Every structure is written in structure tokens, then in C-alpha cells.
Structure 1
Amino acid sequence: MSAVARAIWFIESHFEHDLSLEEISDAAGLSRYHLSRVFGLVNGHSISGYIRGRRLSRAVPALVVGSSTILEVALAAGYGSHEAFTRAFRDQFGMTPDAVRRQGHARNLVLLEPIRMDPARLNDLEPPRFETLQPMLFAGLQEIYPYGGNAAIPSLWQKFNAHFGHIPGQKGNVAYGICTHIDGEAEKFRYMAAVEISDAGDLPPDFTTLKLPGQRYVVFSHRGHVSGIPLTMHRIFDTWWPTSGLEHGDTPDMFERYDERFDPYTGMGVTEIWLPIKE
């Protein structure tokens, strides 16, 4: 796993909070000096510029919608005053937050999207195991992403992790990343950061629920940084699945299972990839 990919994942997972270069470089496994140079050469942004651009870009929808005051948007973006936010926003986009609010859209702004992480080559797949699960009820935060747009998923986990551990009805300390297809949609998918729950009562207002049927799964282990999961998935479907004789189940497309072997702060550890199969 490349150091830059680790740094990007760490920033995307934590940029709504104060971040130091030392924390980022520790997560990347490089010195602060080396990471600063490599990050800029590879991505065309300084680390601080990337964090600033991501925070300001995330603030734009709140300005357009207009449900919060500009000061509230500024504070949520990590700025201590309306003035400081306005200066940074104008430097980033060439216009003020007030002007964006007045025009009511952001079509003329060039937002900074998450940098796509390109993990390095992975080891060969470990032999999978097979499991049968009973029906399960999940609750969590869900977003729709374009295929190939998984670079934004860490920010969803950043929001979800603020709830993890005190979600009403939560069963155990295991988190799930659940991918499901959208009927009639070939370019986008749903991704849900979730936990298993015993019932759907009294959940946070922005939570949604999903019930999966009882079925059989083939289970693979991904070891290393979480940003390498897409390559593991590619390895599964490119080399293992075509010769397996298995037929993929209907729902979900797959889910990731994160237990005590995974560290959500660093993104390192063991992630299980569960794929439903028809019997």
C-alpha cells in the first residue's frame, strides 16, 4: 500500500477535525518532510491545501441550501469567524460565501473532490471460507456513489463512527459496509455504513435500515489498508470467481465486515468481504 494512498485515506476519514502533519505522516509511514514532498508531486496539492479545499468544498452545499447561517457553516468547516471563512472561501473559489448563497447554486465553482486512491499490488488471495447467516437487520448512514467513486466513502465512515457504540439496539461491536445495486441504474450503487440492530426503534433521524435475507456467503479476508479493498475485489472477480462454479446472490452485492482486528483510526487490519451465493 503506497504511503500517499494511506495519507489520502487518513485525511478523508478525519478532515472534519483538527489534523496535524505529524498525525498524517504517522499514518502514511513517512517523515513529515518526505510525505509533504511526495504528496505534492503525486497529487498536485499540498497537504494543507488539500485539507482546506476538501473542507471548503464540503461547505458549499450548506451555503446553497441556505438552512444554516454563514457563520454556522464557517464554524462547521473549522473556521472561527465569518471573516476568516470568507477569506479562505474567496481564495479557493474566487467568490464569497455570500455571493454563492445569493446565486443559489454552485455550478460555476470548481469543487475539490476526493483524490482517487490507487493502492499498490496486493498479495495473492487467501482461500475463502463459506458461512450461512440468518436474516439480519442493519441500521446506518447511506449514500449513493458512482462506480469508481469510492474515494468519498471514508467521509461517510467519519460521520458514522460518531454514532458507533451507542446506536439504539446495536448488536455487538462489529461494523458493516454494505453495497447494494439500484434497480435500473448501471452507473451508481448504494453504500451503507452500518451495524446490526435488534429492532428499528428510536434511531437517529438521518439513519436508514436494511434487512438482508438469510443466505449462504463466500467470505474472503483482506489484510492491510482498507483502501486496498477494490483491488482485492478485482482479484476475486478476475481470477477466483470465474473458476468457482458459483452464482452470485441477489442482495447485497457484497458487504465488508469490520471487527476487533480492524483499526478504524489508521485504516489498517483485517477486513472480511462477504459475497452472497445461490445454492
Structure 2
Amino acid sequence: MISALNRLVDLIEEHLTEEFDVDAVAGRLGTTEYHLRRMFSSLAGIPLSEYVRRRRMTVAAADLVRGDDDLLSIAIRYGYGSTEAFGRAFRAVHGVGPGDVRRCGGPLRTQSQLRFRLTVEGNTPMHTRILDRPAFRLVGHAARVPLIHHGVNPHIQRHIAALPAEEHSRLKSLGNAEPAGLLQILHDLDPDSTEGTELTYLHGVAIDTDTAVPADLDSVEVPVGTWAVFRTAGPHPQTLQAAWAATATEWFPSNPWRLRPGPSMVAFLERSADFSTATCELWLPVEPD
């Protein structure tokens, strides 16, 4: 995976002035666009699309400083149909307009070319099992919420708190498939995993495909597939979030699996009364790399 990401960075540099087809590049690198975007954003700390935009504007700034071409020619070179559109993109990256840079040479906020290196320190225990599961359904109460990488997500908290106590018991009684118990489910996640982007959060349970879905509940059909299940224990949600990050930085680069599209699920095996500590299982949909 690390070599694929470095080749991706090289290809971006070679095609900065062209439309970049991530899906085609992923196929050439022997992986999928979904997995490539997820791994890039997890390891680089920024979405792939944002990195491409920053690199284009970094190189475009050098063209402006040299002053060999007019502003419209530079805008067209980097895929913009007008100087106004180019100016907005340029200002979003550098904080100043193209005219300011042409006159004064800056200030500029440059994006250096990335280079990925794998350092596996083993500081995050990864208790993992790989499971093949038949098709099943996820049913419960859904809400659109923003993605938050660190700390408690208050939007999810409010969604869960709004459900009456008897509804939690009802959901538990409906569950009849793995993973067992009440689940925290993330669906429709942006492959770039950009903080603040919306996803579907489902507070619910897993049921088999023969069980009817109650009319008042939302549902997600989950096809047959393979799952990587990571067990965590400790302060919540910090331990769970650290393990989730470590799947990208340590586990996936070291194992012959890649993420596939599908919901991510968290099952709570044990927890303290105030939810400050918990033993969890993180279920991620995977396929052979």
C-alpha cells in the first residue's frame, strides 16, 4: 500500500495540469479508488482531492512569479475556465489573490510533495479476527451527522439521547445476527474521510435477511462479505478512535486486505455505567488486496 501511495503521488505530479482519474489510477496500482482515498486521507491527514488542489496552486504560484504567461493562460493550464474561478481557488489555498503574488511574490502557503514511509511501532495492540458473513440487515434509527475524528460526536449523542429507553430495549430484542447487541453504525462515509462531511449514523442492530423490518425503522442491506473485526478496551471513545486510526497506519499497510464500500460498525461488549470506559469490537468491511 505504501508503494502504491508513493506511485500515486508521482502520477499526480506528472499530470498536475490534466484531469486526474483516481479510479483509473487505482486500477493500475492494483487497488480500488475507495481504499486508495481512505488510506491516503488517513495517512496524509488531508483528502486526496485537497492535496491535488494544493499542489496545483503551489505550482501555479511559481508560474505567476515567473511572469512568462498571462493570468488567463495560467488559469486554463490548471483546468479553470476563467480568471475569476482560478482566483477563487488560488485565494482559498494561499490566502492572497494571483495579482498580489504576481506583484509582490507572496506570501504563499505551499504544499510540498508528499512521500509516504511505513514505521510500524506496534504501540497500538491490534487484536483482530477475519470473518466471512452471509448477507444481513441493519435496522434502527438513522440520522445525517457530520464526521468528527476526535472526541465525542455531540450530534450522535443527541440522536441517541432523543430515543426513549424502551426503544433501546425493543431494538435489542429485534437483533438476531452478528454483530450482536446495540450497534453504532456509520454508512455512506465519504471515501476521503474529510472532517465535517456528512454521513448516515444508524443506532440499531443486525438481523438476518428472513426477518421483516418494522415499518417505523430505517434499514441498510448488507451483502455477503468479509469483515476485519478489531477488539479494543480502555477509555472511551479515545481507545476506539486510536484503534480506528491505527488500522490505516499499521494494520492495512502490513496485511493483505483492503477496505471495501460498506457500513462500519461498533459493537459494545462491556462498558462502565458512565460510558467512560468500554470494550468494543470495530467491524470494517474488507476484501483481499
Task: Please indicate the TM-score interval, normalised by the length of the shorter structure.
Answer: 0.3 to 0.5
- The structure having more radius of gyration, on CA atoms, is 2
